[in-house]
Amino acid sequence: MVDEKGKNMKCLTFFLMLPETVKNRSKKSSKKGNSSSSSSSKLPPVCYEIITLKTKKKKKMAADIFPRKKPTNTNTTAVQQYHQQNLNNNNTIPAPNWQGLYPTIRERNAVMFNNDLMADVHFVVGPPGGTQRLPGHKYVLAVGSSVFHAMFYGELAEDKDEIRIPDVEPAAFLAMLKYIYCDEIDLAADTVLATLYAAKKYIVPHLARACVNFLETSLSAKNACVLLSQSCLFEEPDLTQRCWEVIDAQAELALKSEGFCDIDFQTLESILRRETLNAKEIVVFEAALNWAEVECQRQELMATIENKRKVLGKALYLIRIPTMALDDFANGAAQSGILTLNETNDIFLWYTAAKKPELQFVSKPRKGLVPQRCHRFQSCAYRSNQWRYRGRCDSIQFAVDKRVFIAGFGLYGSSCGSAEYSAKIELKRQGVILGQNLSKYFSDGSSNTFPVWFEYPVQIEPDTFYTASVILDGNELSYFGQEGMTEVQCGKVTVQFQCSSDSTNGTGVQGGQIPELIFYA
């Protein structure tokens, strides 16, 4: 029994001494001749090609195939403790045999994330004054990134214990490390752009793709201009196209957003040059002046009229001032002070004179976007006792397979001659109002549909049902739709319809009001 215990003690001593033994051996080997070490480090370059396989089955990890059994209370507490240490920076794991707590290599590898245990390199990340020191493990990093592989094991590798990275934010660098170590993607709206930059810099393509997907799903008029600028910088053409779709359809919202003032000059020019902007030119003009004021601050200039014009440069002439409504020009651009006296006089003559002067400004109106109409009924009719309006709601639910922007609804009018209606239109998603407007429209007694518009187009995401509603006040008898369709193909967009519980006036899939959805795609 004593001998057995002795053997066990020797065994335990061996495992405790092993790291030190390996460390001593590495030191001895480093003292050998340079010829052997240089020949082993000069490996032929390797090309990697990343191939995305499309399969119906989700690729499973070892942890999915072999689910971990619930540990005992002691182990559970230990695992939670290690995870908490893992979140904090530079914490090592003191307990012996911590490896036994994790059944898969993926989980054991994740323990090393942001952990000083066995770290053989450190990164000082962030700009001066905002740095954070993060531990790393060369082997893990080299497996996850070809840039790290070249940095640590390539022909020009430098044996540095500390590497400074001033151009990457600490939070973004940690998000990239988490992906490399844990195979987990943890993105946040305020750091996703910085994470995309880090993923591009260190060639981590799957993380970069996830960042782009995150940006596409969170894309809106508020951030479209900033993301357009960044997508061009990161050379992401798909994201650039999505940004343009939002900016074109919701141009006035995009131009009035705070993010518009944060774009670079090149992006400003591309937006001002855009033919398909769906906005009034006075809104474009005011947005350019707002950008110029912020740009003066960035360049540490006084926001005077002269300096605003200076920072705008030739981009000022991309604003199509001669295409403004005369009232907009007279009460807005002409009194802004940004135009010279000669420019103001020439533009006034452009509006009024038969012989128009030559202008430096573009005088051709923008094409804008042509709205599409999805008509869901195959016929319409009227009866002596239908369709009546007494403050009740006509409503229908719909879903699309591509992102679109609902600009308004087409509605039926009076079946008893010309009449005026007051219409309150509304668009909701899961009970949340996304857009609404109260307006009037005049019907001429025909069975045509008459458009009623939202103030701004409403962005509609695919594969989600939205509720379109209208409350009409006017002539009680009107036309109504018949032979409704549950699915309509409108150009490249497929629209599905279903009945809404909000409808209290009889409108449904088969018949009723709201015969058309008017949208941009």
- Between CA 374 and CA 355 the distance in angstroms is 44
Which of the 8 DSSP states describes residue 337?
S
C-beta separation of 109 from 150 below 8 A? no
Number of Cα atoms under 13 Å in the Cβ half of residue 54 = 0
Q: Dihedral of CA 471/474/477/480: which sign?
A: negative
Angle at 236 between CA 235 and CA 239, to 5 degrees: 145
More confident residue, 481 or 91: 481
CB count in 10 Å sphere of residue 227: 28
What pLDDT is recorded for position 91?
Answer: 53
What pLDDT is recorded for position 385?
Answer: 64
More confident residue, 71 or 470: 470
C-beta separation of 345 from 355 below 8 A? no
CATH homologous superfamily of 79-218 = Potassium Channel Kv1.1; Chain A (3.30.710.10)
In the chain, % of residues over pLDDT 70 = 81
Mean pLDDT across the stretch 185-190? 90
Which bin fits 45, alpha (ψ -120 to 50), beta or left (φ > 0)?
beta
Range with lowest mean pLDDT among 24-28, 175-179, 334-338, 479-483: 24-28
Among candidate residues 453, 450, 398, 464, the one with its CA nearest the CA of residue 425: 453
Residue pointed to by tokens 């200039």 = 301
Q: What is the pTM of this model?
A: 0.74
**Residue 204 pLDDT level (bands cut at 50, 70, 90):** very high
Mean pLDDT across the stretch 224-234? 92
Sheet containing strand 162-165, edge to edge, reads 132-136, 121-125, 162-165
Q: Is the pLDDT of residue 246 over 80?
A: yes
Q: How far apart, in Å, are the Cα atoms of 21 and each of 16, 288, 395?
A: 10, 68, 76
- Between CA 511 and CA 187 the distance in angstroms is 45
Q: Is the pLDDT of residue 61 over 60?
A: no
Among candidate residues 127, 128, 134, the one with its CA nearest the CA of residue 163: 134
Q: Is the pLDDT of residue 321 over 90?
A: yes
Residue pointed to by tokens 């001032």 = 321
C-beta separation of 260 from 232 below 8 A? no
Q: Domain ranges in the chain?
A: 79-218, 245-352, 372-520
What pLDDT is recorded for position 95?
Answer: 65
What pLDDT is recorded for position 92?
Answer: 54
Question: Greatest CA separation found in the chain?
Answer: 116
Mean pLDDT across the stretch 496-503? 95
Coil, strand, or helix at residue 235? Answer: coil
Mean pLDDT across the stretch 202-217? 94
Q: Is the pLDDT of residue 73 over 70?
A: no
What architecture is domain 245-352? Alpha Horseshoe (1.25)
Q: How far apart, in Å, are the Cα atoms of 92 and each of 104, 110, 253?
A: 20, 13, 50
**Residue 158 pLDDT level (bands cut at 50, 70, 90):** confident
**Residue 121 pLDDT level (bands cut at 50, 70, 90):** very high
What pLDDT is recorded for position 327?
Answer: 93
What pLDDT is recorded for position 394?
Answer: 95
Coil, strand, or helix at residue 108? Answer: helix
Averaged pLDDT score across all residues of the chain: 83
What pLDDT is recorded for position 323?
Answer: 95
**H helix and E strand count, the chain:** 18, 15
**Residue 161 pLDDT level (bands cut at 50, 70, 90):** confident
**Residue 475 pLDDT level (bands cut at 50, 70, 90):** confident
What pLDDT is recorded for position 418?
Answer: 87
What pLDDT is recorded for position 7?
Answer: 41
What pLDDT is recorded for position 108?
Answer: 87
Residue pointed to by tokens 């939670």 = 80
In the chain, % of residues over pLDDT 90 = 67
Among candidate residues 14, 521, 42, 57, the one with its CA nearest the CA of residue 246: 521
What pLDDT is recorded for position 183?
Answer: 92
pLDDT tens-digit map of 255-276: 999 999 999 999 999 999 999 9
Range with lowest mean pLDDT among 106-115, 237-246, 292-301: 106-115
pLDDT tens-digit map of 363-416: 999 999 999 999 999 999 887 666 778 788 999 999 999 999 999 999 999 888
Q: Is the pLDDT of residue 356 over 50?
A: yes
- Between CA 6 and CA 13 the distance in angstroms is 10
What pLDDT is recorded for position 93?
Answer: 54
* Range 372-520 classified under CATH 3.40.50.410: no
What pLDDT is recorded for position 415?
Answer: 85
C-beta separation of 255 from 284 below 8 A? yes
CB count in 10 Å sphere of residue 23: 9
Start-to-end CA distance of the chain, whole Å, equals: 82
Specify burial of residue 53 (Cβ count, 10 A radius: 0-12, 13-18, 19+).
Answer: exposed
